[in-house]
Structures are given as structure tokens and as C-alpha cells.
């Protein structure tokens, strides 16, 4: 039998999706699962986006431009400009989800053996894309005690080597919910300039910012036009994760021309989903106002609920719809599996994402889980109750305790 | 300014898409272009596929399973079984176009520096995917004089090194239109077994087979269950290139588990397009019968038309909807650009894909172009007339002649 690649062996399993077989088995037994593990919002997709697809008159479902519909890029540029980010359509390439935008970006700026520095914990699939690209992730530790704020710049500088090509941030953060301040963004911009690095910001949660705080895009820092690459997606913004439409944006012409070659190789992003995404841009601000009000309510419910569980530590997220919770256990991987295989109360259980997969440093975050607050309030209340009950049972065995 | 990657520099421009700016400029001048350069069929997408999307009741456009809808994989397995290819849903991963299936496959079986052997000329984007994966394409020459038949197995064996991981074929071939015989497939299977290599077959044109010939899938060769990986797509089959839905299929469990990790990292294939693709499987055989009749008619029109142009050499394609034509010129790249920039007759011109991009050996195919016969017959007749006129003008300059 022919051997598979080292890269294939090294590819991490998704910490979010690897529990799927246990969940399927639990559901087959008739157990209801509250899914706190996956960032699939329960918010309705804007009707305008769905209607645009229904009303499109298509005879031949044909390829689009490799960079995506020009009409969509024009409208997207106008959307960014309204957000205070001055962008031209030529500075945007539409991708198949934020995932593909990250892959094109990694391919354009890194070679196998190169390094990218990422504050950890970070979105687990960055590990996957880095492994697929043969790139080493160099983590810089951010602490739950600091609410996952930007680590000191000196911590980054200690890690920079001739192989360092980029710093990647997620803002607001998945899985931390942390929102970088304007001052933190300025510090990162100065660092990128000083060491001639790319600064890549995953800003897919831009609209999900709470408590009257403001989001600061790296593309507003005009001193780093040649360093800044922004990753975006419609998935969370318009609750249309299944569209698989994202984009990358940069004012670095050479980078855009290079990324475009990767885009051409895969021909084009999905046509139907581009129609939906273009229409979604007409979504009124009131949609976001309602959604954000809903998420703030859920966040408050979740955080106060978690704080009532003995031994649980959590920091208050300022954006996105995730938090990292430290549990009074040794091994969150085992606990997450146990929840699906061995636990249920009144035919119900809860699913969480073990946080170790969001760290790159081995044996980090072993007692942490990522919780997504994408369920409606009453379900969230029930899920927290189940988590509390489950923890009591699980930790009654000494071996499981922290 | 930070440096881009070597890989990014090495990424080839798509020979099919790199002429787009010249075409856009010609169109802006009001010139009508007959596009013989791109495999975008003008055949209507099956209405059932389009209606399924229109009629889907979707509240939240959510992620699907990373391997694609189970319902779609079940129906797809039934479709393959009907084609004589015995496959289970678990042996199929739905991808974002055949492109992504190829990327997952390359990632799963090759590491940077590894080699894949491909009969050339081959689908240009194999170069792109190989470059993106850091893999070296080792071409084995197939000749227009032989109609691009399988090169002798001895030619392959000369090229096999410890770094060789796979042989990739496209059957029927893009850009050659060649259909491998059962005997040729058996020879390839024996070669893969003998040297313990993966045999990867891009079979996206499976239905497009002419003159009463039969398509032989590598998945029918049960002696190579652990070696065979099949790449497929709905793009051409159902004239829905813009869906961006394909799949990979293999009975090698370890390979499938590895490819699944790449699939998980990008979350899921597009949801709307999966709905369309699942419905497309209900397309009756009469649709294909009509389409194939149409393509045979077009092929015959094209080949007889090309044969009437002095100095043009072409072999008769047995499948797909492309042919490679050798022209009485030195530099097809220059000619293709000239057609868009300097030529028009009655406000019309024609667009062809220079064939050099379909070769991996430098300076090969310089006087060849790929022609896709995806236009209706009367347009094809006019396009061939334009090509003939253009060649007469272009070759009237001595420097341009072969």
C-alpha cells in the first residue's frame, strides 16, 4: 500500500469536528445535544440574501471571474468604505470562505519551513492551514487571567527569526472573544513595519463587538499598506456559514497579483453563494442591532451562569460569540467525549470543544473548553445547567479532578 | 516591503485566464469575442438542479458535514454504482470543485519535494496545484501524432524515483480529448501496483465519450483499491461550473481519513450548490444523449473546419470537449494576444488558450493551442472562419511563421 504524506499524518483533526461521530451516536440513541461546540449561529440568514438566489434567472450556472463578481467586489468596497476602510474592488479577491482566503495568503507569503507568529489560543484551523502549507506556527502565549489581551510586544520580538514571515491575529478573537484596542493594533502595526513582516488579521467577527466598544481594522493603519492583509467572510456576519464566501483584502499590489494566481488555479468562488452574499450587503443596520442585542444577552447569560459553577474560570468576551472557560478537570478532551458517550440527564447532554486544539504549545489548555453562545437564551440556560450537573458527576471521580 | 514566498513567485498564471485583461479591453472596444479558450459549456444546466435551490426552504444557510451532505453522498454512491463503480458513501468526500479534491489529494499523498508523473499535455491547473503543494511535476511526453495515447509504460518507468508518489491522468483528457482504452487503464494499474504508487484519475468528463466508445474508470480495477483515487466534479457533467462542487473517491481507508482532515480544516463545501448537485443526479439519460449528440456534431464541425486551414494539425478527440491544434506559427502566446489586441474582422475575433501552459517541459507546445468546442455550431463555424482569416494575416509576417 502506498505511503501517505508526512503532511497528511501531521494534519490536525479539527477539535471542533472530531467529536462528530460520538455526537452522531448519541443522537442515534435519542439524546438531545445542546451544541456549544460549533460556531454555527442560530440567527436567521437575511431574507434578502436567500431571496436573491431564489429570484436569480440562471440558465447556465457558469464560472465567475476568479476574483469574484466585479459587481460584488464593488459593493463590498463600498461596504468597507462605510466602515472607514478605504478599499478599491481591485484590492479584494472573493474566496471560498475565509478558509480559502487564509490558504491563498499563506501560500503567497510563506514557503515550507517558514514561521508565523500567532497569539494563542487561536482559531484551531490556523494549525490545519499552516500544516497544509508546511509552515510552523510559533505561538505567543496570552493568558486567561489577562482576558487574552495582546501579549507584550517584547514577547513577540523574542520569537522573531529570519524565518518569520507574518503575524496572524483574529480580531475579535475566536476562541477568546477578545477585542484588540486601537493601541494594541498600533503596536502590532509598528512591530510589522519594524521587522518587515506581514500582519494578517482575520476580521470575520468585525460586527460582533459589544459594550459600546469599537473595532479597529488593520486596514485603517495606512502606514502598513504593504504589510496588512485582511481576511473576511460572510459566514458569521450574515449567519450564512454554508455559503462559503469570504475574501482577502490588501493594498499590497504584488501580494494581490500573487494571491490571484492561487485564485485562478481553482477557477472561481461559488456562483450561487456570491449572488446571496452580494444581496446580503443590503441588510439594514437594524438587523445587526438586533443580533448584537441578542448576543450581548446571551453572553451575559452564559458568563453569569458559568461563574456560578464551582471551579469554573472565564473571562468576559468583548466580541465574537465564544469564550474560553477553564474547568475544574484535568482533561477536557476526555470530558467532552464523556459528555457524549456517558452522560445524559432527562435525555439531554451538551457538546463543548476541548481548547487544547486552539493551542499550538503541547499540553496547553488541557483543562479549558471553548463555548460558542450561538443558542437561544432558554437553550443556553439549560445547556449551562447540564454542564454544571455533568461537571458534578464527572469530578466526583477523583481521577478526573483538576 | 515584506518579501512574498518563492512558491508565490513560482505559481503559474492560468494560461486560460491570463488573457482575460486583453479580452476585457477588446470587449470594451465593442469587439465580439468567440471564446474557444475556456471550458465553460453553453449547454443549459438541468432545470431540476436550479429548481431545487429555488424551492429549498432555508432559514439559516448553515455548514454541512465536512464530507458533504450524507444524502448527497448516498445518491452519488448510487450514481457510481449504476456506472459500474461500486462505492459506499463513506468512500466519497464532497469538495469545492474538482480543484479542491485535487488539492486534498496532493496534500494527503505528497510532501514538498515529492514527484508526480503526468502525461503531458495535461490540465494546466495541475501545475498550479503542484506548485501550491511544493510538488514537482515530472511530465511524460504524449504525442499529437499518436492522438495523445498513453505513452509506453517504459517511458513512465524511466522517470520513477524514490520521490515518485503518484501518477495523475485525466480521462477523457483535458486538453487532448483522448480517451484511455481499457488496456491502457490496466497497464497503468499494473504500474501503480508494481511500484506502490497512487494512481489519481481526474474523470470529470466521464459522460463525454463519443463514437460508441466506453469509459473505463480506475475504480473498476479492483486490484488497486488501495492505490486508486478518483477526482470528479459536477461542473461539466451538468453544465454547472459555477456550483464549485466536486468530490474525491477512494477505497483506501487511510487515505480517506487523511483527506478528511484537510476537509475539516475548511469546514464544509458550499451548501446551496450541494442542493443543486444532489438534485442534478435525477437528470435523465436523455439529457446526456442530447448533449453528447450536440458535442459530436460540434467536434465534427470543428475538426473538419480546422483540417481545412493550411498548416493546421489536429487529432480527433474521442471524449471531453477539447482538442489540441498545432498551428503554422512560432509562438501561440503571442498569437493569442494578437487575436485580442490587433485582430478583428467585422468587429469580431476569437480567443484560444496557448498550449504551452498545458506542458510542464519548458518550450513545449509553443505552436499549439487548446480549443474548447463549447459554442453552438453556427458560432463554431464563424469562429473557425475567423481563426483561418486571422492565421492568414498573422502568418503574412515572416517573423510569425513556424
This model of the complex carries an ipTM of: 0.94
Interface check for A300 against chain B (CB to CB < 8 A): the answer is no
Q: Are A312 and A306 in contact (CB under 8 A)?
A: yes
Quick check: B402 pLDDT over 80? Answer: no
Verify that A276 and A291 share a domain, yes or no: no
Owner of C-alpha cell 509576417: B397
Residue A15's pLDDT is 72
Helix (H, G, I), strand (E, B) or coil at B219: helix
Verify that A158 and A247 share a domain, yes or no: yes
Query: Which of residues A280, A304, A325 is at a domain's end?
Result: A280
Verify that B170 and B301 share a domain, yes or no: no
Verify that B273 and B301 share a domain, yes or no: no
Residue A101's pLDDT is 98
Quick check: B15 pLDDT over 80? Answer: no
Closest by Cβ to B265, choosing from A125, A165, A198: A125
User: In this structure, what are the phi and psi dihedrals at residue A70, rounded to the nearest 5 degrees?
Assistant: -60, -40
Distance CA A296, CA A207 (A): 13
Interface check for A82 against chain B (CB to CB < 8 A): the answer is no
Closest by Cβ to A112, choosing from B112, B239, B268: B112
A 153-182: CB under 8 A from B: 165-166
CATH number at residue B382: 3.90.1150.10
Residue A236 in any domain: the answer is yes
Q: What is the mean pLDDT of each run of 10 residues along chain A (402 residues)?
A: 95 82 95 91 94 96 96 98 96 98 97 97 94 96 95 98 98 97 98 98 96 97 98 96 98 98 95 98 93 95 96 95 96 96 97 94 95 94 97 89 78
Residue B287's pLDDT is 93
CATH number at residue B110: 3.40.640.10
Distance CA A369, CA A365 (A): 8
Distance CA B395, CA B400 (A): 5
Strands of the A136-141 sheet, one edge to the other:
A92-95, A246-249, A228-233, A198-202, A164-170, A115-120, A136-141
B 225-244: CB under 8 A from A: 226-227, 239-244
Range of the domain at A213: 58-280
HEC string for chain A: CCCCCHHHHHCCCCCCCCCHHHHHHHHHCCCEEEECCCCCCCCCCCHHHHHHHHHCCCCCCCCCCCCCCHHHHHHHHHHHHHCCCCCCHHHEEEECHHHHHHHHHHHHHCCCCCEEEEEECCCCHHHHHHHHCCCEEEEEECCHHHCCCCCCHHHHHHHCCCCEEEEEEECCCCCCCCCCCHHHHHHHHHHHHHHCCEEEEECCCCCCECCCCCCCCHHHCHHHCCCEEEEEECCCCCCCHHHCCEEEECCCHHHHHHHHHHHHHCCCCCHHHHHHHHHHCCCCHHHHHHHHHHHHHHHHHHHHHHHCCCCCEECCCCECCEEEEECCECCHHHHHHHHHHCCCECCEEEECEEHHHHCCCCCCCCCEEEEECCCCHHHHHHHHHHHHHHHHHHCCCHHHEC
Verify that A276 and A318 share a domain, yes or no: no
Verify that B83 and B230 share a domain, yes or no: yes
Quick check: B206 pLDDT over 80? Answer: yes
Residue B319 in any domain: the answer is yes
Owner of C-alpha cell 459528555: A339
Residue B298 in any domain: the answer is yes
Alpha-carbon Rg for chain B in angstroms: 21
Residue A328 contacts by C-beta under 8 Å, 6 or more apart in sequence? A310, A311, A312, A367, A391, A395, A401, A402
Residue A51 in any domain: the answer is no
Phi-psi region of B330 (alpha: psi -120 to 50; beta: other; left: phi over 0): alpha
Verify that A87 and A125 share a domain, yes or no: yes
Residue B38's pLDDT is 84
Domain count, chain A: 2
Degrees, nearest 5: CA angle B32-B37-B42: 75
The reply to whether residue B14 touches residue A265, judged by beta carbons under 8 angstroms, is: yes
**How close, in Å, is residue B41 to chain A by CA atoms?**
8
What's the mean pLDDT in B275-293?
A: 95
How many CA atoms, within 13 angstroms, populate the side-chain half-sphere of residue A321? 31
CA-nearest residue of chain A to B12? A261
Query: Which of residues A232, A255, A280 is at a domain's end?
Result: A280
Query: Which of residues A247, A280, A313 is at a domain's end?
Result: A280
Of the candidates B371, B311, B327, B361, the one whose C-alpha atom is nearest the C-alpha of residue B121 is B361
Verify that A193 and A304 share a domain, yes or no: no
Q: CA A141 → CA A138, A242, B272, B333, distances in Å?
A: 10, 32, 39, 52
In this complex, how many residue pairs, one in chain A and one in chain B, have their CB atoms less than 8 Å apart?
Answer: 274
What's the mean pLDDT in B350-356?
A: 95
Helix (H, G, I), strand (E, B) or coil at B396: coil
Residue B192 confidence class, pLDDT cut points 50, 70, 90: very high
Verify that A303 and A375 share a domain, yes or no: yes
Distance CA A75, CA A81 (A): 10
Q: Which helix (H) or strand (E) holds B120?
A: strand B115-120
Residue A52 in any domain: the answer is no
Amino acid at each position: 500500500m502506498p505511503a501517505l504524506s508526512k503532511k497528511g499524518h501531521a494534519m490536525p483533526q479539527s477539535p471542533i469536528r472530531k467529536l462528530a461521530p460520538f455526537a452522531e451516536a448519541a443522537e442515534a440513541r435519542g439524546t438531545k445535544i445542546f451544541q456549544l461546540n460549533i460556531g454555527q449561529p442560530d440567527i436567521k440568514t437575511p431574507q434578502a440574501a436567500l431571496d436573491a438566489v431564489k429570484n436569480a434567472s440562471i440558465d447556465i450556472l457558469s464560472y465567475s471571474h476568479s476574483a469574484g463578481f466585479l459587481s460584488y467586489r464593488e459593493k463590498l468596497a463600498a461596504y468597507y468604505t462605510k466602515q472607514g476602510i478605504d478599499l478599491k474592488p481591485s484590492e479584494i479577491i472573493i474566496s471560498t470562505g475565509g478558509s480559502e482566503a487564509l490558504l491563498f495568503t499563506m501560500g503567497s507569503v510563506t514557503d515550507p519551513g517558514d514561521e508565523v507568529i500567532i497569539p494563542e489560543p487561536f482559531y484551531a484551523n490556523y494549525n490545519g492551514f499552516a500544516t497544509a502549507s508546511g509552515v510552523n506556527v510559533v505561538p505567543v502565549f496570552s493568558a486567561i487571567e489577562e482576558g487574552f489581551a495582546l501579549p507584550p510586544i517584547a514577547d513577540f520580538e523574542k520569537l522573531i527569526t529570519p524565518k518569520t514571515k507574518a503575524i496572524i491575529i483574529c480580531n475579535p478573537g475566536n476562541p477568546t472573544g477578545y477585542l484588540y484596542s486601537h493601541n494594541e493594533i498600533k503596536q502590532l502595526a509598528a512591530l510589522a513595519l519594524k521587522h518587515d513582516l506581514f500582519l494578517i488579521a482575520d476580521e470575520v467577527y468585525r460586527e460582533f463587538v459589544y459594550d459600546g466598544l469599537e473595532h479597529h481594522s488593520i486596514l485603517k493603519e495606512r502606514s502598513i499598506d504593504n504589510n496588512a492583509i485582511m481576511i473576511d467572510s460572510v459566514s458569521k456576519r450574515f449567519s450564512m456559514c454554508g455559503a462559503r464566501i469570504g475574501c482577502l483584502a490588501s493594498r499590497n499590489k504584488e501580494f494581490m497579483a500573487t494571491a490571484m494566481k492561487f485564485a485562478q488555479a481553482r477557477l472561481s468562488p461559488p456562483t450561487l453563494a456570491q449572488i446571496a452574499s452580494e444581496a446580503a450587503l443590503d441588510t439594514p443596520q437594524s438587523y445587526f442591532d438586533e443580533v448584537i442585542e441578542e448576543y450581548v444577552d446571551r453572553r451575559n447569560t452564559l458568563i453569569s451562569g458559568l461563574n456560578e459553577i464551582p471551579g469554573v474560570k472565564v473571562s468576559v468576551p468583548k466580541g465574537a460569540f465564544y469564550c474560553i472557560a477553564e474547568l475544574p478537570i484535568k482533561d477536557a478532551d476526555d470530558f467532552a467525549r464523556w459528555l457524549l458517550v456517558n452522560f445524559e440527564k432527562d435525555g439531554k447532554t451538551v457538546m463543548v470543544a476541548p481548547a487544547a486544539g486552539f493551542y499550538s504549545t503541547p499540553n496547553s489548555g488541557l483543562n479549558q473548553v471553548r463555548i460558542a453562545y450561538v443558542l437561544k437564551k432558554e437553550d443556553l440556560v439549560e445547556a449551562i445547567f447540564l454542564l454544571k450537573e455533568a461537571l458534578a458527576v464527572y469530578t466526583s471521580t477523583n481521577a478526573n479532578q483538576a
